[in-house]
Chains A and B, each alone.
Chain A
Amino acid sequence: MSSFDFDGAPIDYSDGQSVGAALWAHGIRSWRTTRVRGRPRGLYCGIGVCFDCLIVIDGRPDERACIVPARPGLDVRTQRGAGRADHHL
């Protein structure tokens, strides 16, 4: 089994799983807080349409956890708000 890092902790996954599915399998249900109300969000549509599962991967915010394939050594982090230090509402 391979693993990637989520907020510094190792997450095992099996080949073929998305980042979001691997997090879900570990009991993690949210990895984003919304821009306005700071509410937790995770998977919703699960097929790349709703953009609720946005996450920071290797420094890139706004990646869809439901469709990005898990790969060994990815640096995956919770996305807070817009996910960019220079973006504020």
Chain B
Amino acid sequence: MPIITCDVAVVGAGPGGTAAAVTATRGGAGVVLVDGEARPGGQYWRHGSADVAETGVVAEHRAQWRAVSRRLDQALASGRLTYLARTRVWRLDPPGESAPADLHAVRSGRDGDIPVRIRAAAVVLATGAHDRVLPFPGWDLPGVLTAGAAQALLKEHGVVAGSRVVVGGTGPFLLPVAAALADAGAHVLEVAEAGTGRGWARGWRAAAGAPGKIADGVRYAALLARHRVPVHCRHAVVAASGDGRLDAVTVARVDGDWRAMPGTERRVECDAVAVSWGFAARLELALQAGCDTGPGPDGAPAVRVDAVGRTSAPSVLAAGEIAGVGGADLAVLEGAVAGTAAAAVAAGREPVAPHPGIQARRERLAGFAAAMHAAHPIRPGWTGWLTPDTVVCRCEEVSVAAVREAVEQLGADDPRTVKLLTRAGMGWCQGRMCGEAVAGLVADATGTDVDPFGGALAAASRPVAAPVPLGAVAAEEPDMPIDRQSDPRSGGPS
């Protein structure tokens, strides 16, 4: 098994991680950048296929990525940066008094998965986020996608999700997704934003010093207007239908608590629907390392970091969405600061505080993000869209009726007990797709409030951060008892 030793390990090659890897390398450190995808860039700078038409939103992101890519190439050319693609870290043992951090990973290749170990004096976690999802009747039909999936298909693969597309959910991300789809030639029938739509106005007030973000909003709105895409606030995609694949969604007007208003349902024929409800940070490795968390701008847990990105765990730093979901610009800033600091930490030096101008810009961007989150909360009325046979856990095919039965008939009063009774959350995705939904249904059935902080913290606290083949784990430790027993040379039972 390959064991790689370095000064700084950076986990995640998105906006935060690439910035951290570049500045840590410039700071003189030997750096290993690890990422689960085939190409660097993360979700925001997805790229790949030469087929991607570079227009509008996609062209902007491509131009940004090319600039980042040049800096990454320079760092690689220095010989001090190693980049490991398609490598997912499933376990992080934090550095001890004299021991380096130990990262357990699995690298995918043509011949399957092989274990990789990385030992580092300091670690920068930039593991990012994925779309937050909620169930609705028919959401498991092929053709129903997350907004992130529609964006990835387009930005990385040059594939337009559908010819007639509805975009729905809540949050500022819906606008660039709809604009990019329209730019690429899809007929975007509407954007159904469950919130009030006053987010950009609030952001304006909160972040007068971050004019770029407001300009984004104005530009997306103009693009949607040019493509004649209506944006309906206080509307939601409440159901999808079709025989084996999507052929229509139901859009309804919702009240302030997201209850569908009777009589407002409309059937909209479409071949794709892209739905997202904000982002969920990927906290697993940070929690394994013992990093303290606090409520982030959306109420969900965020890793607490100081001005240079240090967490409460010695020699473990964090940047980007796991330190509070705030978008790519903020992630780049945090990553650059954390990378510089990590190189110092690895060399046993005290990190230098960033320039006050950087700190001020960071606060403006964080203020904008906080205002956006405040304007796009998840409201509890979505549970009313569900039918008893709506699938909640896609992996284990657990229905709404089964979850409600666990609460009402079997006495479960928390998501963990529901999981044990129904298997909801026990599948491949490890509850990332159904965790919010189960928590919401339990709160609904028990008459309590959802705890976005405690719930997400419990869901992300797991000894294995990513699904990995057992064989790859077993192959990692030549002295594991199971290996000795199966090895006839050891003289044990065979």
**A25 to B149, alpha carbons, bound, how many Å?**
14
Given contacts A24-B159, A44-B394, contact A49 B429 (CB under 8 A): yes
Question: Which of A14, A22, A50, A52 gathers most chain B CB within 10 Å?
Answer: A50
B413 at the interface (CB under 8 A from A): no
- Flag the segment in B44-52, B295-303, B436-444 that touches A: B44-52
Instruction: Decide if B157 touches A16 in the complex (CB within 8 Å).
Output: yes
- A36 vs B130: C-alpha distance in the bound complex, in angstroms? 27
Choose, from B140-148, B168-176, B308-316, B481-489, the stretch at the interface. Answer: B140-148
Q: Is B433 touching A18 in the complex (CB atoms < 8 A)?
A: no
Nearest CB of B to A51, in Å: 3
Q: Please, how many angstroms separate the alpha-carbon atoms of A25 and B143 in the complex?
A: 12
Evaluate contact between B244 and A51: CB separation under 8 angstroms: no
Q: Measured between C-beta atoms, what is the minimum distance from B184 to chain A in Å? A: 12
Q: In the bound complex, do residue A17 and residue B131 qualify as a contact, i.e. CB atoms below 8 Å apart?
A: no
* Interface 9-residue window, one of B35-43, B220-228, B249-257, B359-367: B35-43
CA gap between A67 and B152 in the complex, in Å: 10
Q: Which residues of B contact A39 (CB under 8 A)?
A: 140, 397
Once A and B bind, how many residue pairs between them come within 8 Å at the CB atom?
120
A34 in contact with B144 (CB, 8 Å): no
Within the assembled complex, what's the spacing in Å between the Cα atoms of A60 and B38? 19
0/1 per residue, A28-50, Cβ < 8 Å to B?
01100011110111111111111
Bound complex: CA of A43 vs CA of B152, how far in Å?
11
From 390 to 426 in chain B, residues with beta carbon under 8 angstroms from any chain A beta carbon are 394-397
Contacts of B210 in A (CB 8 A): none
Q: B467: CB under 8 A from chain A?
A: yes
Complex Cα gap A45–B277 (Å) = 13
Q: Which of A17, A18, A46, A54 contacts B145 (CB 8 A)?
A: A46
Q: Is the CB of B433 within 8 A of A50?
A: yes
Determine chain A's interface SS by DSSP, over half rule: loop
| A9 CB → nearest B CB, Å | 18
Question: Contact: A21 with B37, CB < 8 Å?
Answer: no
Closest to B38 in A: A69
Q: How far is B130's CA from A44's CA once the two chains are assembled, in angstroms?
A: 12
Cβ < 8 Å to A, chain B residues 135-167: 140-146, 148-150, 152-153, 156-159, 161
Q: In the complex, which residues of chain B have a beta carbon less than 8 angstroms from the beta carbon of A42?
A: 142-143
- Cβ of A50 and Cβ of B394 under 8 Å apart? yes
Q: Which residues of B have CB within 8 Å of A21?
A: 49, 153, 156-159
Are B397 and A34 within 8 A (Cβ)?
Answer: yes
**CB-CB contacts of A62-73 with B at 8 A, as 1s and 0s?**
100011010100
Q: Which 5 A-B pairs have the closest CB atoms?
A: A46-B149, A21-B157, A51-B428, A16-B48, A16-B49
| Residues of chain A whose beta carbon lies under 8 Å from any beta carbon of chain B | 14-18, 21-22, 24-25, 29-30, 34-37, 39-52, 54, 60, 62, 66-67, 69, 71
Chain A to chain B contacts (Cβ below 8 Å), 19 pairs: A14-B158, A16-B48, A16-B51, A21-B153, A25-B157, A29-B143, A29-B245, A30-B244, A36-B397, A43-B153, A44-B433, A45-B148, A45-B433, A46-B150, A47-B148, A62-B428, A66-B152, A67-B37, A67-B38
Apart from A44-B140, A51-B467, what are 9 other A-B pairs with CB-CB below 8 Å?
Answer: A14-B51, A15-B50, A22-B157, A24-B159, A29-B143, A36-B396, A44-B149, A49-B429, A50-B428
